[in-house]
Structure 1
Amino acid sequence: MFLPVSKQDLIDREIQQLDFVFVSGDAYIDHPSFGAAIISRWLERHGYTVGMIPQPQTDEDYSQLGTPRLGFLVSSGNIDSMVNHYSVSKRRRKKDSYSPGGKMGLRPDYATIVYGQTLRKLFPHTPIIIGGIEASLRRFAHYDYWSDSVRKSILIDSKADLLLYGMSEKSIIEVADSLDSGLAIRDIIFVRGTVYKTSKESYLPQKRVNLPSYDAILSDKKEYAKSFAIKYQHIDSISARPLMEAYRYHYIVQNPPHEPLTQSEMDQVYDLPFERDVHPMHEAVGHVPAIDEVKFSIISNRGCYGGCSFCALTYHQGRVIQSRSKESIVNEAKIITADKDFKGYIHDIGGPTANFYDIACTKQTTHGVCLNKQCLSDKPCSQLEVSHKNYLDILREVRQLNHVKKVFVRSGIRYDYVLYDNDESFFKELVQHHVSGQLKVAPEHVSDRVLDVMNKPQRDLYDRFVKRFYELNKRYNKEQYLVPYLMSSHPGSTLHDAIELACYVRDLGYNPEQVQDFYPTPGTLSTAMYYTGLDPRTMEPIYVPKTKHEKAMQRALIQYRNPKNYYLVKEALETANRTDLIGYDARCLIVPNRK
């Protein structure tokens, strides 16, 4: 049974007043791949009633379930609303996969802020708690690419009372229990994984770390970079301290992250009674595309210790891996096989990084993650425990279930981690059983200089992976291909680096149809580089391609075979003094004169 979405639902279930009302920017999809579904079902498991208001359009929509006893919960949805709405060129997208019929315009820009402000106007005395990816990554002052400005903490702009960052299962129950006990929302300043605002100095933690003030980071990009570097060091539940950012009239305080879920707790979360589908009220309007890829997929783990500079996962989920038990995953697979629409294919078993199923090293459980050292970068940490044994055991058992024809791994793998494993069993079985014709991998670039900025492994490692992948395909008589994700215009990338990548694409015989321009989204190290022109890790200046024209040239170089890109490629080669690549022999990218 879906959670209540209307007054009639409340009447039918004899609910006089809901404990919480959840306002979301997504259509209501009761599936464990959606944060709103997890949090609402988790609250329900702990005895609280929750109603859902997806994509409200009018004041009447916000009010249809009445005033909740304990508070409103607000999320923009599974994706930041601005990323959802705009491409990297700031063009309005034509499709919203999280809305009925894929229709755009059913959620506002800066959805968390709009929802929070509207609720504050309609319910001035009711607690408002914001969470989800948009709130989590904007919890402090942050560079906003779309307005090209440094915005305040979203907790201020949304007029909310409390912000929950990260995945929040533990935090939301502590907050709910505190409210249920009669504690005022303004006095809930002690829960891990939360951010609160206060004007009382007595409410500031004693052992806190003071970040540069909002006024300071507005006036000096070095202060912004320093602030980001500090925040980046305080994402672990063991080593993190409270952080405080001062504004003119109040303070924003972040409590340390909550402890990672244990395997038992993860199992409990994903064993909740999800309907695993879109609410029928949406399907009556139009199909919600977002369900298609995840309906027959299984989340096996959370967190990521990959440390890619352009990814915000470590800032949101942390670096410590949290995994479900094999029994829980296999049980979900059995539930999937019983679905009337199941055709025999499980689309994915994975997480942020599919083959990061086990914790990076046991020291993390007692000492936390290393503050000045990555588990993976150009070389693996000597303490990294590399094994695919447990993950492979899961894949083997699921693919042997009745009615399962194929189990794919689509959520992405770290190819360097695969190569570091001395036991090649996973690599072999991945090729034999778990590739759907194409395997997506993310080298991102081939210039070692750019890869260093990205905190990615060096090019030679990717070359080794490619070579071994095709050797195994030949051994097992498979016709499968690698689809590399490539990124243009990342901080640190000059035209010379882009040309190096173009030459690599030439030698590979690969014609990429899609190339991702670097997208400066909140919460990433790369975005801090983009805004400040500094690497917060070293405070050294870094080259940033910012103009639309240079970014267009870097992108065109990767897709140099496209006739539409001829003049951009020619200009780029001439600007970089690489006219040796203009000619008629095989190593040239373009001919001298376009016919």
Structure 2
Amino acid sequence: MRMCSFCTPQDELKRAIGYKPKGIKTMSDFLPISKQDMIDRGIDQLDFICITGDAYVDHPSFGAAIISRVIEAEGFTVGVIAQPRWQGTKDFERLGKPKYAFLVTSGNVDSMVTHYTAAKRLRSDDAYSPGNQAGHRPDRAVNVYCRCLRKIFGDSVPIIIGGLEASLRRFAHYDYWDDAVRESILVDSGADLLVYGMGELQTREITRRLSEGEPIHSMTDIRGTCYLTEPRNTPIGCKECPSYAQVVQSKESYAKACKLQFLEQDPITGRALLQRHGDKMLVQNPPMRPLNQSELDKVYALPFARTYHPVYEKQGGVPAIQEVEFSIAHNRGCFGDCNFCAITLHQGRMITCRSEKSILAEARKLTQSPNFKGYIHDIGGPTANFRHPSCKNQLEHGLCRGKKCLAPTPCKNLDVDHSEYLHILQEVRQLPGVKKVFIRSGIRYDYLMEDPDDSFLRELVEHHVSGQLKVAPEHCANAALDCMGKPHVETYKQFMEKFYQTTREAGKEQYLVPYLMSSHPGCTLKEAVELALFLKIENIRPEQVQDFYPTPGTVSTCMFYTGLDPLTMKPVYVPKTAEEKAMQRALLQYFKPQNKRMVIKALRKANRPDLIGNGPHCLVRPDPSDKPRQETKNNTGGYKRTDKPQGKSGKNKRSENKSKRGTKWQQNGKTKRR
């Protein structure tokens, strides 16, 4: 599951337990987290207080850190309450009452995803918490934090919510953990205003207007925000989604609402959207424009401490910092637009990027860290090799409505150019103290294959792969790939051939590590078997397989809930039972001994017993303890058994034969009864 632009998958962070950056900063390098910090800075009352479900890590890969530093840069005082204990009021009162507002986020990841696996099992760890320990934040953290604040402070101070959890739950949404449709998080939490998307421009405008004395409820014209109002105050000229009551009752209405929400997410062409919730109307203003390059450079130049707060040192630190401490984010947005990804509804499809000067300045700063060993782990983002808009038309007209730039085939207007990104990589790896620059956030190989110039691929192979390059074909069956919004597998095969050829020419031994997903909508056991055969033919043995995780706010989650593709309204097959999910997952790792029985069961259910055997084309060998009956056809066209039990009386034989009536037998693909 890839939920946000700078999040690292949970499994890659587990190895970071106990990691401690050298040269821990002092308290004064961070924003206030206690009354004593306020006293030391001569602050009687903070202007704004940020509450986050993550531990306090003052690094630009953490959304709460960016927003709090942006507020500080506007000339306001701001404090941070990280992972408050929600069972009481003490932590929420720690910094007193802010002058203008509380800003609330669950952290970098939806709190339910942080707590539960795709199988809804409780996780035992949390890389965004001190010591990698789970349990430092509640389920549905935004709702819980807001209700605690209302209980303590009433309506005397505005509450503004943002971040991934708020952004993706801004409309009525299917909640996988409840297996039900929930109201907008703005209704559920009781907050006054919701900021969706990356949030810097919205935050600047909100803070300025609050400081000028404007009430929060009059701020109904800020792009990139949602608010609740009386139906009679609904603005004109908006597109209306089916209401909360309608999407609860009708899956078709839910799919129609989902389609509208995705079609209106372009900052140039997007229109305001409405969705009725009982006696209130939810209004989503059009998306905020992305930051331009100068603005983005300024954000990353803010005085981040770039590590976790010293208060966590005794608990072993915050392991999430390891994957990002020496990584550089150079872009935002992704026109790859995979259906299972949250980026489209959160960051958007339009690419914005930092200047080469800004990236080099950050790289030099990294080399001066006491913990730097010469390796920059990543210069990337949602997709590392996107530095430009997908085409020139979108700068004036926005991205195409209802169409994808790369899938199922690349658009004929696609503008492919790796030259600037390649130059940045070359310049960074020439910096004193830099031994190696890796690309770990992933590349779009389908975009790379459209580049007539092979320079980027050659330098990628020669300089920027740490033995393994992670890419995301996700599947090989076209039916599944179409539902995912991914290119067909022929593109991946061409890339594999080109990558390994370039690797051989460079005299290196490097490998592709494909991300694969099981049980996505549109994937039956037939497609899962097809993928298993593809892996066998290509000699790919994935160590990890991701079950599809229906997280809030994605097209794929809409498919999972409704059984419809919201963009076409055509029915989609959805694997939902635990047994079928287990079978699909086992097929992707058919080579593991512990999966053998499940693979055999799946192959039989998929009518592919020909893949059970000792031949080179087979996926698994037969199970010795599961001998199939042998049947021969008699002269009358019926069947007789050739493995009759020995040593039984005729009576017992007749009883046994009688007990076999009703058993199904297969002949020429037709089901008959004996």
- The answer to whether residue 82 in structure 2 is matched with residue 54 in structure 1 is yes
Aligned pair partner of 1:197 in 222, 225, 228 = 228
- The answer to whether residue 54 in structure 2 is matched with residue 26 in structure 1 is yes
Q: How does 1:258-277 map to 2 (within 5 A)?
A: 258-277=288-307
For 2:188, the aligned partner's letter is: D
- The answer to whether residue 76 in structure 2 is matched with residue 45 in structure 1 is no
Aligned pair partner of 2:41 in 4, 9, 13 = 13
TM-score under structure 2 normalisation? 0.87
The CA distance in 1 between the partners of 2:474 and 2:294, in whole Å, is 36
Name which one, 1 or 2, has greater alpha-carbon Rg.
2
The CA distance in 2 between the partners of 1:418 and 1:372, in whole Å, is 23
- The answer to whether residue 340 in structure 2 is matched with residue 313 in structure 1 is no
The CA distance in 2 between the partners of 1:392 and 1:227, in whole Å, is 41
The CA distance in 2 between the partners of 1:534 and 1:105, in whole Å, is 36
Q: How does 1:229-240 map to 2 (within 5 A)?
A: 229-240=259-270
Partner of 2:176: 145
- Are 2:264 and 2:270, in contact at CA under 8 Å, matched by a contact in 1? yes
Q: How does 1:269-288 map to 2 (within 5 A)?
A: 269-288=299-318
The CA distance in 2 between the partners of 1:85 and 1:472, in whole Å, is 42
Partner of 1:3: 31
Partner of 1:117: 147
The CA distance in 1 between the partners of 2:139 and 2:477, in whole Å, is 36
Aligned pair partner of 1:453 in 468, 479, 483 = 483
Cα distance, 1:284 vs structure 2 = 2.5
Cα distance, 1:200 vs structure 2 = 5.1
Secondary structure at 1:22's aligned position in 2? strand
Greater mean deviation of Cα atoms: 446-455 or 321-330 = 446-455
Cα distance, 1:285 vs structure 2 = 2.2
Cα distance, 1:571 vs structure 2 = 1.1
**What whole-Å deviation, never above 9, does each CA across 1:241-274 have from its counterpart, x for those lacking one?**
1111001111111001111110001101111111
Partner of 2:209: 178
Q: Which runs of 5+ in 1 are unaligned?
A: none
Task: Tell me the number of residue pairs that the alignment of Structure 1 and Structure 2 aligns.
Answer: 594
The CA distance in 2 between the partners of 1:536 and 1:157, in whole Å, is 25
The CA distance in 2 between the partners of 1:239 and 1:284, in whole Å, is 51
Cα distance, 1:591 vs structure 2 = 1.1
The CA distance in 2 between the partners of 1:441 and 1:166, in whole Å, is 26
Cα distance, 1:407 vs structure 2 = 0.2
The CA distance in 1 between the partners of 2:606 and 2:503, in whole Å, is 39
Q: How does 1:120-519 map to 2 (within 5 A)?
A: 120-124=150-154, 125-199=156-230, 201-202=232-233, 204-519=234-549
Secondary structure at 1:140's aligned position in 2? coil
- Are 2:402 and 2:567, in contact at CA under 8 Å, matched by a contact in 1? no
Partner of 2:661: none
The CA distance in 2 between the partners of 1:54 and 1:457, in whole Å, is 41
Name segments (4+ residues, structure 1) moved above 3 Å. Answer: none
- The answer to whether residue 104 in structure 2 is matched with residue 74 in structure 1 is yes
For 1:229, the aligned partner's letter is: K
For 1:56, the aligned partner's letter is: P
Cα distance, 1:372 vs structure 2 = 2.4
Cα distance, 1:304 vs structure 2 = 0.3
Secondary structure at 2:315's aligned position in 1? coil
Secondary structure at 1:114's aligned position in 2? helix
For 2:76, the aligned partner's letter is: Y
Partner of 2:621: 591
Partner of 2:630: none
For 1:143, the aligned partner's letter is: Y
The CA distance in 2 between the partners of 1:283 and 1:80, in whole Å, is 25
Partner of 2:632: none
The CA distance in 1 between the partners of 2:393 and 2:449, in whole Å, is 23
Secondary structure at 1:252's aligned position in 2? strand
The CA distance in 2 between the partners of 1:361 and 1:460, in whole Å, is 24
The CA distance in 2 between the partners of 1:82 and 1:522, in whole Å, is 10
Identity in percent = 57
- Are 2:231 and 2:279, in contact at CA under 8 Å, matched by a contact in 1? no
Cα distance, 1:406 vs structure 2 = 0.2
The CA distance in 2 between the partners of 1:189 and 1:393, in whole Å, is 44
The CA distance in 2 between the partners of 1:546 and 1:429, in whole Å, is 43
Cα distance, 1:94 vs structure 2 = 1.1
The CA distance in 1 between the partners of 2:565 and 2:96, in whole Å, is 49
Cα distance, 1:178 vs structure 2 = 1.3
**What whole-Å deviation, never above 9, does each CA across 1:339-384 have from its counterpart, x for those lacking one?**
0000000000010000011111122121111112211102111111
The CA distance in 2 between the partners of 1:485 and 1:62, in whole Å, is 41
Secondary structure at 2:90's aligned position in 1? helix
The CA distance in 2 between the partners of 1:180 and 1:167, in whole Å, is 22
The CA distance in 1 between the partners of 2:589 and 2:57, in whole Å, is 37
Secondary structure at 1:277's aligned position in 2? coil
- Are 2:101 and 2:160, in contact at CA under 8 Å, matched by a contact in 1? yes
The CA distance in 1 between the partners of 2:407 and 2:624, in whole Å, is 42
**What whole-Å deviation, never above 9, does each CA across 1:113-164 have from its counterpart, x for those lacking one?**
1111111111112100000000000000000001101000001111110000
For 1:159, the aligned partner's letter is: G
The CA distance in 1 between the partners of 2:422 and 2:232, in whole Å, is 52
Cα distance, 1:307 vs structure 2 = 1.1
- Are 2:563 and 2:573, in contact at CA under 8 Å, matched by a contact in 1? yes
Cα distance, 1:425 vs structure 2 = 0.5
Secondary structure at 1:5's aligned position in 2? coil
Greater mean deviation of Cα atoms: 178-187 or 21-30 = 178-187
For 1:500, the aligned partner's letter is: E
Secondary structure at 2:517's aligned position in 1? strand
Secondary structure at 1:29's aligned position in 2? coil
- Are 2:116 and 2:122, in contact at CA under 8 Å, matched by a contact in 1? yes
- Are 2:241 and 2:275, in contact at CA under 8 Å, matched by a contact in 1? yes
For 1:344, the aligned partner's letter is: G
Greater mean deviation of Cα atoms: 254-263 or 585-594 = 585-594
Cα distance, 1:594 vs structure 2 = 4.2
TM-score under structure 1 normalisation? 0.99
Partner of 2:599: 569
The CA distance in 2 between the partners of 1:473 and 1:488, in whole Å, is 29
Secondary structure at 2:265's aligned position in 1? coil
Secondary structure at 1:478's aligned position in 2? coil
For 2:530, the aligned partner's letter is: E
The CA distance in 2 between the partners of 1:475 and 1:120, in whole Å, is 64
For 2:66, the aligned partner's letter is: I
For 2:566, the aligned partner's letter is: P
Cα distance, 1:286 vs structure 2 = 2.1
